[in-house]
Amino acid sequence: MKNKIYHFIGIILLSAVIAGCSDYLQVTDQGSVSSDVFPSTIDQVDLMLTSSYAGSHQLGLYAFYWFPMGIYLYDHTSDTDGTYDTRATQMSNNTITTCPYNTQTYSDIMRWIGFSNAALEGIEKYRTNHPLDTVNTKRLNFMKGQALFNRALAYWHGQIFFEIESKPNGLGLPLIDKVPKSVNEMMPPRATTKESWNFIISTLNEAIPLLTGHTTDLTRATEWAAKGLLAKAYMQSRNPGRAVPVLEEIIQNSGKALVPSSTYEDMFYGKPANEFNKENLYEIDMTNNPKQTGPWAAYTTGSGMPMVFAPWPLNLDFRDKGPNTAPGSLDIITNSTGGWGNNYVHDANVRRFGFTLTAPGNRVKNTGYVKANARSTTNLPWIIDPAYTSQSNDLRTKKLVDPRLYVGAGQPYVDTFKDGLGRVTFYDKSPALNNQPQILSWNHKKFSNREGTEQLLNFSSPANYPVIRLADIYLLYAEALKDSLPVKALEYINKVHRRAYNLPVDVASAVDYKTFTDVTMAPVGDHLHTDVLKYERWSELFAEGQWWFDIRRWEIGQKEVDYYKTTRNGTLTYRGIGYYVQPIPQTEIDRYHGTLQQSEGY
C-alpha cells in the first residue's frame, strides 16, 4: 500500500499535465494515462483505489494539520506556547472563515471524497468494459467495498463542519456520490446533518458485504473496520439502539481483544511490532519518507503532525551558568530543538488525570554533579528540586495518578527520551514559557519520536493513527447500554479501566468502579469528577482525536469551557450552538457565488 501511494502521486501529477494540455495533446499511446483507456488493467483500478487511501495523507488531514492545527485546539488537548496566527481563534472555538488550516482541511476532505468516487467510477468502468472471471469479480467487489469505506471515512472526518445533531434541520456537508460531470453536480447544496449521517450509514452498509472475508492485508479496510465505523456513526447520529447489535457483533465475532498494558503503552510510536495489533480495527497507515522533507509537497507517506507538537529535548550540553535565584527571576533555558514544538499538553489535562503537584519552579544546583564526567540525566549541573522529582515518581509508582497520563504526555525533567545524538535526555519546557513558571508544560508524547527528534525522521513520522480500536468499541457499547443494562455497561468500562492499571481485564479488581457516579481522577469542580463513562472515554482515548466528537455528541461545550477556562489566547467563552461547528471556508462560499449556506454562529 505504501509503495502504491508513491505511484499514485505520480499518476496525479501526470494526469494534471494531460488535463492541462487537453486542447492540443492527442494521446495515442494506449499505455499512457488517458481517461479514454484508463483503467485498462485491474492493477490500474487498484491504483485508483489507492488514491482513496491517499486522501487521508493530505496537508489538511493526517499529513500535517488535522491534530495540531485542528482537533487538538478545538478540544483543548493542546495549548500553544504562543498566539500563533489564526490558531488563536480555533482554540477559542470561534474559527474565522478565512483560517488557512480550516480551509485546507475542508478542501482536502472534499478531495478525499472525490478520490473515492473516482475509484468507484473506475471500478464500474472496468467491470463494464472487461470480461471478468470469478476471481477478478471478487477482487473488484473488494475494491468497491474499500472505496466506499474511504468515502464514508472522509465524511466522518467532515463532521467537524456539521451543525450539531440536535439542531432541527441543521446543516451537514454537500453530498457527492459520483464524479461530477457538470457545474451543478460539482456544487450541490449542503444536506442536512441528518441526511449527511444517513449517507455515511448507507455507504457503510453497502460496503460491509463487499468487505466480508478479506482480512489478510492489514493496511486495507476490512469488514470489522467498516462495522466499527458504522457503530460510531450510529452513536454520533444519536441512534444507540441501532449501534448495539453492531457493537455486539464486533465484540463477539471480530477476534479483537484489548492488548496488554505493555503493548498499549508502546503502540503509538511507529513501532511495526505494535501497529496493526489485535486491538485496532482500523488505523491510518504511515511510513517514513526519507526522500521528502516534511509534508509541504502535499501527499506523503509519513506525517508532519508530530513536527508541530514535537517534544523539547533538554540539551545536555547547556551552558553551566545557572538561574538567577532572585525572587521572580527566570529559570535557565536548556532546551534544544528537533521540531517546531508549538503545542504542549494543556495543563488542565494533566490535572484531569489526577496530577496534583504544582510546577517545579526554577532549577537548583546539583551538589552531586561531577564536571569531569559526561553529562547525563543523572549528572547535570542544575536540576529541579530532588524532592519534587521524588514526589512525582511517588505519584506514578503508587498509581495515585491515572497511568494513561504517562502514555500521552512527557513530564519535563522527569520523563526521558532520546535527543538528536541518540543520548537519553529529559523532556524540557518550551523557551517561550520561561516567563510562565506556573505552567506545567508537559510535552505531547503520543505519536512522537521517542528514539530521537522529528528532524531525524525528515519530519515524516511513521507512527500510525488508530481511528477505531476495541477500547473505543467497549466504551461506546457501555454508553449504549448504560440505561438498559447498567451492570453489563459498567463491566465494559471496567475492562478498559483495569487494563490501564495493568490488571487482568476480565477479573474484578480493587480499582473497579462500582457506579457510574464514582469519583474519578478528575479534580473536584470538573464535570468528569463523578462521571465514570465520560472520564474513561477522555482518558483512554486522550490525544487520539476522538474527544471532540464526544463533546459534540454529548453537547458538553459549556462544561468543558467551565473546566478549561483559559488558553494562551485568553479566556474561553461558550458561544452556544456555534461552539460545536467549524465554519465553511469563505473561499468555498465564494466558489459557490455565495449560494452555499454558512453555519449558524458565523
pLDDT of 483 over the 90 cut: yes
Q: Which three cell numbers stand for residue 224?
A: 470489522
Say how far apart CA 201 and CA 231 lie, in whole Å: 9
Supply angle C-alpha 536, 539, 542, rounded to 5.
135
Which pLDDT does position 32 carry in this prediction?
52
Tens-digit pLDDT profile for residues 555-564:
999 999 999 9
More confident residue, 12 or 544: 544
169 occurs within a structural domain: no
Q: Which residues contact 567 (CB under 8 A, 6 or more apart)?
A: 76, 79, 80, 91, 92, 346
User: Predicted confidence band at 463 (pLDDT cuts at 50, 70, 90)?
Assistant: very high
Which pLDDT does position 517 carry in this prediction?
98
385 occurs within a structural domain: yes
Q: Is the peptide bond before 260 cis (omega within 30 degrees of 0)?
A: no
Q: Which residues contact 206 (CB under 8 A, 6 or more apart)?
A: 148
pLDDT of 5 over the 70 cut: no
- Lowest-confidence region among 28-37, 102-111, 124-133, 441-450: 28-37
Tens-digit pLDDT profile for residues 501-543:
999 999 999 999 999 999 999 999 999 999 999 999 999 999 9
pLDDT of 262 over the 50 cut: yes
Say if pTM beats, i.e. exceeds, 0.85: yes
Tens-digit pLDDT profile for residues 108-138:
999 999 999 999 999 999 999 998 899 999 9
Determine the average pLDDT of the residues in 19-45: 59
Say how far apart CA 285 and CA 302 lie, in whole Å: 8
pLDDT of 289 over the 60 cut: yes
Which pLDDT does position 319 carry in this prediction?
87
Question: What does 513-549 look like in DSSP terms, one character per residue?
Answer: -SSTT---SSPTTSTTTT-HHHHHHHHHTTTTT-HHH
Full domain range(s) for residue 421: 313-438
Which pLDDT does position 217 carry in this prediction?
85
Which pLDDT does position 16 carry in this prediction?
37
Q: Which three cell numbers stand for residue 259?
A: 492488548
509 occurs within a structural domain: no
388 occurs within a structural domain: yes
**Cβ-contact 255, 279 below 8 angstroms:** no
H or E stretch at 121: helix 100-129
- Lowest-confidence region among 15-24, 89-98, 162-171, 207-216: 15-24
Our count of domains for the chain comes to 1
User: Predicted confidence band at 82 (pLDDT cuts at 50, 70, 90)?
Assistant: confident
51 occurs within a structural domain: no
250 occurs within a structural domain: no
Which pLDDT does position 294 carry in this prediction?
87
Tens-digit pLDDT profile for residues 181-219:
998 899 999 999 999 999 999 999 999 999 998 877 889
> C-alpha 481: how far from its chain's center?
26
User: Predicted confidence band at 36 (pLDDT cuts at 50, 70, 90)?
Assistant: low
User: Predicted confidence band at 317 (pLDDT cuts at 50, 70, 90)?
Assistant: very high
Percent of the chain clearing pLDDT 70 (strictly above): 93
More confident residue, 211 or 430: 211
585 occurs within a structural domain: no
104 occurs within a structural domain: no
Which pLDDT does position 35 carry in this prediction?
64
Q: Which residues contact 59 (CB under 8 A, 6 or more apart)?
A: 65, 104, 108, 295, 296, 298
